[in-house]
Structure 1
Amino acid sequence: MTRAKMVSRRKTRTIIKTKTMKSTMVNIRNASSKHSISDALIKLKHPTGGHIPSLSLVSPRDSVTAKLCGQVFPVRMVASSDKNAPPKPSTHFVDAAPKDSVMLVTAPDNVRSAVWGGLMTARAQAKGVKGVVLNGNCRDLAEHWESITIFAKGHSTLGQSPFTRPATLGEPIEIRCDSNIPPSDADPAWPTMTVQPSDILLADVDGVVVVPRKQVAEVVELTKKGREVDARCLEDLKQGKGVAETFKKHRGA
Structure 2
Amino acid sequence: MSDLVVRLRALPTAAISDALDRAGIEGALHGVTPLSNDFRAVGPAFTVRYAAVDEAGAGTVGDFLDDVPSDAVIVIDNDGRTDVTVWGGIMTEVAAHRGIAGTVINGVCRDVSASLTQNYPLFSRGRFMRTGKDRVRLVAVDEPVTVSGIEIRPGVCADADGVVVVPAAEAERITESAERIERVESDIVAAARAGSTLRESRVHFGYHTLQTRSQT
Determine if the TM-score, normalized by the shorter chain, exceeds 0.5: yes
Indicate the structure with greater strand content.
Answer: 1
Q: Percent identity?
A: 25
Alignment of 1:108-147 (within 5 A): 108-147=79-118
Number of residue pairs aligned between Structure 1 and Structure 2: 206
Counterpart position of 1:36? 15
- Give RMSD over aligned pairs: 2.4
Alignment of 1:151-162 (within 5 A): 151-162=123-134
Matched, 1:218 2:173: yes
Matched, 1:232 2:205: no
**Contact 1:121/1:144, CA 8 A, preserved across alignment:** yes
Q: Distance in 1 between matches of 2:201 and 2:16?
A: 22
Decide whether aligned partners of structure 1 residues 35 and 156 sit closer, same or farther in structure 2, where only a CA change above 3 A counts: same
**Contact 1:88/1:167, CA 8 A, preserved across alignment:** no
TM-score, normalised to structure 1, is 0.73
Q: Distance in 1 between matches of 2:207 and 2:67?
A: 49
TM-score, normalised to structure 2, is 0.85
**Contact 2:61/2:133, CA 8 A, preserved across alignment:** no
Q: Distance in 2 between matches of 1:204 and 1:82?
A: 39
**Contact 1:88/1:168, CA 8 A, preserved across alignment:** no
Alignment of 1:1-253 (within 5 A): 22-30=2-10, 32-47=11-26, 50-58=27-35, 61=36, 63-64=37-38, 66-81=39-54, 92-147=63-118, 148-176=120-148, 192-196=149-153, 199-251=154-206, 253=208
Distance apart, 1:97 and its partner CA: 1.6
Decide whether aligned partners of structure 1 residues 82 and 228 sit closer, same or farther in structure 2, where only a CA change above 3 A counts: farther
**Contact 1:97/1:129, CA 8 A, preserved across alignment:** yes
Q: Distance in 1 between matches of 2:124 and 2:207?
A: 38
Q: Distance in 2 between matches of 1:167 and 1:88?
A: 10
Q: Which has the larger radius of gyration?
A: 1
| Structure 2 residues not aligned, in runs of 5+ | 209-216
Decide whether aligned partners of structure 1 residues 35 and 215 sit closer, same or farther in structure 2, where only a CA change above 3 A counts: same
Say which structure, 1 or 2, has more relative contact order (CA 8 Å, 6+ apart): 2
Letter in 1 for 2:146: E
Counterpart position of 1:4? none
Q: Distance in 2 between matches of 1:82 and 1:222?
A: 50
Distance apart, 1:56 and its partner CA: 2.1
Over residues 32-58 of structure 1, what are the superposed CA-to-partner deviations in whole Å (9 max), with x where a residue is unaligned? 2110011011111103xx211112222
Over residues 5-25 of structure 1, what are the superposed CA-to-partner deviations in whole Å (9 max), with x where a residue is unaligned? xxxxxxxxxxxxxxxx52221
| Structure 1 residues not aligned, in runs of 5+ | 1-20, 177-191
Q: Distance in 2 between matches of 1:99 and 1:232?
A: 36
Over residues 159-218 of structure 1, what are the superposed CA-to-partner deviations in whole Å (9 max), with x where a residue is unaligned? 111221211101111113xxxxxxxxxxxxxxx21112xx11111112111111111110
Moved over 6 A (4+): 87-91
Over residues 51-93 of structure 1, what are the superposed CA-to-partner deviations in whole Å (9 max), with x where a residue is unaligned? 11112222xx5x33x221111101111111299xxx9899822
